[in-house]
Amino acid sequence: MAFSALEDGARGQAQRRRGCEHYDRGCLLKAPCCDKLYTCRLCHDNNEDHQLDRFKVKEVQCINCEKIQHAQQTCEECSTLFGEYYCSVCHLFDKDKKQYHCENCGICRIGPKEDFFHCLKCNLCLAMNLQGKHKCIENVSRQNCPICLEDIHTSRIAAQVLPCGHLLHRGYRCPLCMRSALDMSRSWRQRDDEVAQTPMPSEYQNMTVDILCNDCNGRSTVQFHILGMKCNICESYNTAQAGKYRISIDQQ
């Protein structure tokens, strides 16, 4: 809910409620773009036809005494704590989640800081267990998630680092290069059982097709099956048809 910064009088319970669905905080941000008061930039952006630049926020309003003041961690009038964590760059107020500000990312991240490193080529903070063990793609986070289309770099949802190096919020296969995002070996064994238990009609039993494997990029010719075609090289079912169907005719 928004309030005019010039408006006098009581703001009601909606204003005094601490925080919003996004953050736990004891103040409202005065948007430099429209002079309206919002609990956070996300609440602002969901209700306005423009975006709030978090870096340009200069003033906040205490939810208890309603004093408008310079952005800071504690109210100068009534000592209300605006946030256990406060970043003077991003103007992020929230409860303590071991946040830290990454100078290279330019925004705050949820830590602890010692559990992450910033990959200069990917231009993104990654878990320490990925250091030297991930495929770098330059500025990989400076794009929208190909599944939900949300900006990955500034999203509050953790992105999954796929073996191919791409990022996405959810899904089992990278929609950019189509490689499997997870270890699918167990699923492929289950698919083997399903194929074995589902024989094709006689007219399709001699049908073969050329396939391209999305996981190993190999090409092979396999027997057609409605439940999927298995790569002869890496045994993945993450494949696509790459040629015409062929039917072998038995010679009498």
On whether the pTM is more than 0.85, the answer is no
Q: Give the H or E element holding residue 242.
A: strand 239-247
C-alpha distances (whole Å) from 90 to each of 65, 85, 107, 172 are 24, 11, 6, 33
pLDDT at residue 124 tops 70: yes
pLDDT band at 25 (very low <50, low <70, confident <90, very high): very high
Is it the case that residue 250 has pLDDT exceeding 80? Answer: no
pLDDT digits (tens, 9 = 90+) for 48-87: 999 999 999 999 999 999 999 999 999 999 999 999 999 9
Residue extents of the structural domains in the chain: 27-94, 99-168, 184-247
Average pLDDT over residues 221-247: 92
Q: What percent of the chain has pLDDT over 70?
A: 90
Closest CA to 2 of 27, 33, 32, 39: 39
Contact 169, 152 (CB under 8 A): yes
* C-alpha to C-alpha distance for 209 and 225, rounded to whole angstroms: 9
In sequence order, the β-bridge partners of residue 29 are 38, 60
Quick: pLDDT tens for 191-217: 898 899 888 888 888 899 999 999 999
Lowest-pLDDT range of 10-24, 28-42, 57-71, 177-191: 10-24
Provide the percentage of residues in the chain whose pLDDT is more than 90. Answer: 57
What's the confidence (pLDDT) of residue 205? 86
Cβ 120 vs Cβ 104: under 8 Å: yes
Q: What is the pLDDT of residues 82-118, one digit of tens each?
A: 999 999 999 999 999 999 999 999 999 998 999 999 9
Tell me how crowded residue 184 is: count the other CB atoms within 10 A of its CB. Answer: 17
CATH class for the region spanning 184-247:
mainly beta
